[in-house]
């Protein structure tokens, strides 16, 4: 099984199962006067004056600084945005994958047979010690992410890198030509970010696989320390674990100069403490999971602006096909058809986000041009249709209990959600109420460990799971892991030769429209098999002091710091 490239799947890395901690509550009606709306990629653009400090809240501590490592958490990436350059970035509109013009002059696919990429590095691009950014840095990432070159390296993903047959530098290493022996459609996800090869040497990379593994697994992890290098607008000044990272402008940065004196990433692990800290000006940007009360508090702040956008985080209901009770597609289809997603939204996220709408595609979101409604009757709340599906499949209702075609009563199903998530608790309760109309009993329970619950090892103790999912723009790579037979993200144990074939084609498709066609075919087949019911995009809240410019929501894995180098205080 292939692993996925970090950028493609990194949204799922560690955070794949992150569930929103939203709470139900009072209906919408807060003052939205300070809500910022506008074009996703340019909203809140402005000119910054020189100086000042901005503090951005991280909701998790950082234990591993390697942005390509298997242990990466979301917080690692948020900080890496401002010091570690990558080839491409996904913009807030969720559809534009933009070339990093500071790092690269161009990155193009110059051939398809064999697939060939040519990266032309910006001649001005240097690391903070003046060492030019060259093919060596690309080569290091390839070697560390390729199991053939480094079997003991622990990258978050090897996908794409394992299909590269050669990586050659020319023009003094400023042009990198990559050739594949296996086509890779999501090639823009590669080399995001790169790592400094000359630093890797200091960290143990002596050219041997062992040295490479040492530098990658341990060196770039910076246990009890922090990266002392930068190829971005900021460079580390200090890091105190559980407290904060302070970065200052990188003196060797060749791009548009950063205006701030310092940029602080402060760890605040209790969401409810973020708004008071913002109000007291101890922090200037927060990106918490929205809740009714929290949003109302933000709305009441006079000197704060906020954005509430729909990002790539989704909620869904996952069936566990490893359990016999859920193996009949007819039962799954009936349960999903009877469930009214629109009504559910009204009782959950719709209470604070009027933009929340049913998500009718498992792979794409409405902001992406490839999005189309593939769900058919699923999620429509058509109980009569659901009953007919069951009747046609041979089910009967006896004494209010559903009986399967063989005459055995359908057992009570266990539906789980992560504890303390009131939104998902409501979703589960509504789902249970709906199922009761079909004669199916659903026992709603919590779990304190999503990982332990959905893990591929023994002990899957759920039939249905209401869970969150961070989507990516590199969808072929991500969803091949979710839907391919026995793939890593395939928590429900789904298997379909049709889907496997379509995903294989999508992965190798160098034509983006063709890949989208295959993937929508996958989604349609999943509907046919009634595997996974998508619910809605989780609203993404970003609140910040009103005097900040160029700060904007980015509902992708890159998060708001995707343009942290441009952040500043209005001049």
Compute how many residues bind another protein; rule: CB under 8 A.
55
Pick from 539, 73, 9, 542: nearest CA to 313: 539
- Binder of another protein out of 250, 284, 481, 563 (CB under 8 A): 481
Cβ proximity to another protein, 277 vs 498, nearer residue: 277
Cβ proximity to another protein, 156 vs 308, nearer residue: 156
Residue 426, token pair as written in the block = 């409501």
Q: Please report how close the Cβ of residue 195 comes to another protein at its closest, in angstroms.
A: 19
| Cis before 114 (ω within 30) | yes
In whole angstroms, give the CA distance from residue 308 to residue 35: 8
Q: Please report how close the Cβ of residue 78 comes to another protein at its closest, in angstroms.
A: 16
Q: How far is CA 385 from the centre of its chain?
A: 35
In whole angstroms, give the CA distance from residue 457 to residue 537: 29
DSSP for 482-531, please give it: HHSTT-TT-TT----HHHHHHHHHHHH--SHHHHHHHHHHHHHHHHHTT-
Instruction: Give, for 426, the enclosing helix (H) or strand (E).
Output: helix 422-437
Q: Please report how close the Cβ of residue 2 comes to another protein at its closest, in angstroms.
A: 8
Distances (CA, A) of 26 to 11, 198, 249, 293, 480: 31, 56, 44, 8, 39
Q: Parallel, antiparallel, or unpaired for β 304-319 and 396-398? A: unpaired
Asked whether position 156 contacts another protein by CB under 8 A, the answer is: yes
With contacts defined by CB under 8 A, name the span among 105-113, 133-141, 481-489, 499-507 that binds another protein.
481-489
Round the CA-based radius of gyration of the chain to a whole number and report it: 24
Cβ density class 489-510: b for 16+ within 10 Å, e for less: bbbbbbbbeebbebbebbbbbb
Q: Strand 568-570's sheet: what is its strand order?
A: 48-49, 568-570, 548-549
Asked whether position 58 contacts another protein by CB under 8 A, the answer is: no
With contacts defined by CB under 8 A, name the span among 6-14, 104-112, 373-381, 545-553 that binds another protein.
6-14
Cβ proximity to another protein, 70 vs 570, nearer residue: 70
Q: Please report how close the Cβ of residue 490 comes to another protein at its closest, in angstroms.
A: 10
Which residues in the 158-197 window bind another protein by CB under 8 A? 158-159
With contacts defined by CB under 8 A, name the span among 44-52, 53-61, 109-117, 335-343 that binds another protein.
53-61
Which residues in the 331-360 window bind another protein by CB under 8 A? none
Cβ density class 42-74: b for 16+ within 10 Å, e for less: ebbeeebeeebebbbbbbbebbbbbbbbbebbb
Asked whether position 14 contacts another protein by CB under 8 A, the answer is: yes
DSSP for 200-240, please give it: HHHTT--SSHHHHHIIIIIITTTTTS-----SSSEEEEEEE
Asked whether position 519 contacts another protein by CB under 8 A, the answer is: no
- Binder of another protein out of 32, 53, 166, 391 (CB under 8 A): 53
- Binder of another protein out of 406, 407, 448, 497 (CB under 8 A): 448
Asked whether position 300 contacts another protein by CB under 8 A, the answer is: no
- Binder of another protein out of 17, 200, 295, 338 (CB under 8 A): 17
In whole angstroms, give the CA distance from residue 508 to residue 186: 8
Cβ proximity to another protein, 205 vs 274, nearer residue: 274
In whole angstroms, give the CA distance from residue 352 to residue 25: 9
Q: Please report how close the Cβ of residue 270 comes to another protein at its closest, in angstroms.
A: 5
In whole angstroms, give the CA distance from residue 244 to residue 233: 18
Which residues in the 385-424 window bind another protein by CB under 8 A? none
Cβ proximity to another protein, 279 vs 510, nearer residue: 279
Asked whether position 3 contacts another protein by CB under 8 A, the answer is: yes
- Binder of another protein out of 21, 454, 476, 507 (CB under 8 A): 454
With contacts defined by CB under 8 A, name the span among 21-29, 88-96, 131-139, 454-462 that binds another protein.
454-462
Burial of 251 (0-12, 13-18, 19+ CB in 10 A): exposed
Cβ density class 371-402: b for 16+ within 10 Å, e for less: beebbebbbbbbbeebbebbeeeebeeeeeeb
Q: Please report how close the Cβ of residue 184 comes to another protein at its closest, in angstroms.
A: 15
Q: Please report how close the Cβ of residue 511 comes to another protein at its closest, in angstroms.
A: 25
- Binder of another protein out of 21, 363, 450, 532 (CB under 8 A): 450
Residue 332, token pair as written in the block = 């799954």
- Binder of another protein out of 154, 293, 500, 501 (CB under 8 A): 154
Q: Parallel, antiparallel, or unpaired for β 244-249 and 533-545? A: unpaired
- Binder of another protein out of 43, 45, 70, 105 (CB under 8 A): 70
3-class secondary-structure state, position 385: helix
Residue 189, token pair as written in the block = 């996800």
Asked whether position 13 contacts another protein by CB under 8 A, the answer is: yes
Pick from 320, 357, 352, 350: nearest CA to 335: 320
Q: Please report how close the Cβ of residue 489 comes to another protein at its closest, in angstroms.
A: 5
Q: Please report how close the Cβ of residue 399 comes to another protein at its closest, in angstroms.
A: 39
Which residues in the 220-279 window bind another protein by CB under 8 A? 223-224, 237, 240, 242-244, 246, 262, 264, 266-270, 273, 276-277, 279
Cβ proximity to another protein, 38 vs 451, nearer residue: 451
Q: Which positions lie near another protein, rule CB under 8 A?
A: 1, 3-4, 9, 12-14, 16-17, 53, 55, 61, 63, 70, 154, 156-159, 223-224, 237, 240, 242-244, 246, 262, 264, 266-270, 273, 276-277, 279-283, 448-452, 454-457, 481, 488-489, 491
């Amino acid at each position: 099984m292939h692993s996925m490239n970090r950028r493609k799947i990194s949204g799922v890395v560690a955070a794949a199962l992150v569930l929103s901690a939203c709470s139900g509550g009072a209906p919408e009606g807060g003052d939205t006067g300070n809500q910022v709306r506008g074009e996703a990629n340019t909203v809140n653009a402005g000119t910054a004056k020189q100086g000042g400090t901005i503090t951005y809240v991280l909701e998790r501590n950082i234990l591993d600084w390697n942005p390509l490592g298997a242990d990466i958490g979301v917080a690692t990436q948020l900080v890496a945005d401002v010091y570690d350059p990558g080839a491409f970035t996904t913009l807030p509109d969720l559809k534009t994958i933009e070339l990093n013009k500071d790092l690269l002059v161009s990155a193009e696919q110059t051939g398809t047979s064999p697939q060939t990429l040519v990266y032309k590095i910006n001649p001005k691009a240097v690391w903070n010690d003046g060492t030019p950014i060259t093919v060596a840095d690309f080569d290091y990432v390839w070697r560390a992410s390729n199991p053939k070159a480094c079997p003991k390296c622990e990258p978050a993903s090897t996908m794409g890198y394992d299909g590269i047959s050669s990586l050659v530098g020319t023009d003094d290493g400023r042009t990198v030509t990559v050739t594949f022996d296996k086509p890779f459609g999501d090639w823009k996800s590669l080399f995001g970010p790169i790592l400094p090869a000359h630093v890797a040497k200091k960290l143990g990379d002596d050219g041997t696989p062992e040295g490479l593994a040492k530098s990658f697994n341990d060196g770039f992890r910076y246990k009890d320390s922090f990266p002392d290098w930068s190829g971005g607008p900021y460079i580390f000044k200090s890091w105190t674990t559980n407290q904060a990272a302070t970065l200052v402008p990188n003196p060797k940065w060749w791009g548009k100069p950063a205006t701030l004196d310092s940029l602080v990433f402060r760890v605040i692990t209790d969401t409810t403490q973020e708004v008071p800290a913002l109000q007291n000006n101890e922090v200037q940007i927060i990106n918490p999971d929205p809740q009714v009360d929290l949003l109302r508090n933000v709305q009441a702040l006079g000197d704060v602006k906020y954005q509430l956008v729909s990002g790539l985080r989704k909620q869904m209901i996952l069936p566990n096909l490893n359990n016999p009770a859920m193996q009949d597609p007819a039962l799954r289809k009936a349960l999903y058809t009877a469930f009214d997603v629109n009504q559910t939204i009204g009782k959950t996220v719709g209470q604070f986000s009027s933009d929340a709408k049913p998500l009718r595609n498992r792979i794409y979101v409405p902001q992406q041009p490839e999005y189309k409604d593939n769900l058919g009757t699923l999620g429509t709340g058509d109980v009569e249709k659901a009953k007919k599906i069951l009747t046609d499949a041979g089910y009967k209702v006896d004494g209010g209990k559903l009986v399967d075609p063989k005459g055995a009563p359908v057992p009570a199903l266990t539906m789980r959600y992560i504890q303390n998530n009131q939104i998902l608790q409501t979703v589960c309760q509504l789902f249970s109420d709906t199922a009761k109309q079909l004669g199916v009993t659903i026992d709603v329970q919590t779990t304190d460990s999503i990982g332990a619950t959905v893990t591929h090892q023994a002990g899957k103790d759920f039939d249905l799971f209401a869970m969150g999912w961070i989507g990516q723009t590199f969808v072929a790579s991500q969803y091949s892991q979710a839907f391919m037979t026995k793939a890593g993200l395939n928590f429900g144990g789904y298997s379909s030769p049709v889907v496997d074939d379509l995903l294989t084609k999508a992965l190798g498709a160098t034509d983006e429209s063709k890949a989208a066609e295959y993937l929508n075919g996958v989604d349609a087949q999943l509907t046919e098999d009634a595997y996974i019911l998508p619910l809605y995009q989780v609203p993404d809240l970003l609140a910040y002091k009103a005097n900040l410019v160029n700060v904007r929501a980015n509902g992708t894995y890159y998060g708001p710091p995707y343009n942290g180098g441009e952040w500043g205080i209005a001049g």
